[in-house]
Amino acid sequence: MTSFHPKEYDLINLYEVTDEQGVALWGGNNEGEAVLWWLKGDQTGRILVSAWDSDEEDAYMIGRAIDITDIVRQTYEYYGLD
């Protein structure tokens, strides 16, 4: 099978948790905290992840944010986690 991704990943992942209106509730680089913030709410919002590159002075988002809410929700439902 051909791999589409490089072996080394040097981008910075930033996560954002929003309410159902899209208002940011939490943001940061810790995926565990993002999931906890989503779970603390009523799970009607979203968990977004974006990849960032940076030089010595600025950071640049690579592409667009990806909604990973369904992945997290399905994982919790599959394993029966609360």
Element (H, E) at 33: helix 31-40
Residue 31: name the closest of 53, 51, 56 by CA: 51
For the stretch 20-46, pLDDT in tens is 999 999 999 999 999 999 999 989 999
pLDDT of the residue at 1: 81
pLDDT of the residue at 48: 98
More confident position, 22 or 56? 22
Angstrom distance (rounded) from CA 55 to CA 12: 12
Q: In the chain, what are the domain boundaries? A: 12-79
pLDDT of the residue at 15: 98
pTM of the model: 0.89
